[in-house]
Amino acid sequence: MIKEIIDALNEGRSFLVTSHVRLDGDALGSELAFYLMLRDMGKKAVVYNQDATPVHYRFLPASENIVQEPGAMEQYDTAVILDCSELERVGEKAQAIGQIKKLINIDHHISNDGFCDLKLIDARASSTGELVFRLLQEMGFRLTKDICTNLYAAILTDTGGFRYSNTRRDALWAAGTLVENGADPQWISENIYESDPPAKLKLRARALETLSLDMKSKVGSLTVTKEMLQATGASMDYTEGFVDIPRAVQGIEIAALYTQMNGNGFKISLRSKGKVNVEKIAKKFGGGGHINAAACRIAGDIDSVKSKIMEAIKEL
């Protein structure tokens, strides 16, 4: 399928590049690298995201070119949908984007059912960034410093700083090649992990007060409410990485972060160690992801939502 994707990239003239709502490093790094590649190929390209770029990813090369309004879809002959297991994950404009003549999907989620005719899907890949790197290698494309920076950030964040079980040989080889061609590991890591605004630290302190250890300390969780966000002056994207706090506790096998959403309900981010498959839990509630990292949304108050998740964990 890579050959067909390369043919489509060569044939296309105007591209819309997009990813999922609630942006993370893999989504942003992958789409920005793709955008830079298309521009170097002499193509017209626009990166559209429904959500604004989180503060700690605005250092990524070309991030200033991301738009929240893509304009008329008729101007695009090809849409590249990255890090999405289903079209609806791009947000409110999913249906309109789906009307673009040619759709390309590059993704590594195990829950992806192949919603595009042109697709590169590999659930064993560490990240979508790794798959974009693979595509660039197949094309023999010149790796610029800016492309390498974006792809390194994508792989770094989706492997948890090269700590998760998806840190396999191919991920490390890709990262090494990206460093060799200009990515600066220290500078990228400092921007992502060591540049938190004071409001994020205040929110983390409030969230730590909710730490709960259940099922003989095998399940740990934190909760973030809208009241906490308002009180600390934090935004929703500041919760990124919070789920790894209970995951770091000795003996924990499953970690959960309950984040209250606008409306009635919570987003639940799940992480696990070893072979515990949290994707099965998320899928039960209409979500998805990977074996060790998944997410879903459940309507209701915090007590009812936690009860449903704990019951699903017990069944697992």
Total Cβ atoms within 10 A of residue 67: 10
Please report the pLDDT score of residue 15 as a whole number: 98
Please report the pLDDT score of residue 262 as a whole number: 86
Residue 42 has pLDDT above 90, yes or no: yes
What is d(CA 300, CA 192) in angstroms, rounded to the nearest whole number? 33
Tell me the per-residue pLDDT of 200-219, one tens digit each, with 9 for 90 and over: 999 999 999 999 999 999 99
> Which residues are bridge partners to 102 per DSSP?
78
The pTM assigned to this predicted structure is: 0.92
Mean pLDDT (the chain, rounded): 96
- Contact indicator for 219, 310 with CB cutoff of 8 Å: yes
Burial class (CB in 10 A: 0-12, 13-18, 19+), 11: exposed
| Token pair recorded at residue 247 | 């995951």
Phi and psi (nearest 5°) for 42?
85, 15
Tell me the per-residue pLDDT of 253-297, one tens digit each, with 9 for 90 and over: 999 999 999 888 999 999 999 889 999 999 999 998 889 999 999
Tell me the per-residue pLDDT of 125-170, one tens digit each, with 9 for 90 and over: 999 999 999 999 999 999 999 999 999 999 999 999 999 889 999 9
Structure-derived torsion over alpha carbons of residues 149, 113, 164, 25, reported in degrees to the nearest 10: 30
- Could you give all domains of the chain from N- to C-terminal order, each with its CATH number? 2-193 (3.90.1640.10), 198-315 (3.10.310.30)
Q: What percent of the chain has pLDDT over 90?
A: 93
Please report the pLDDT score of residue 123 as a whole number: 93
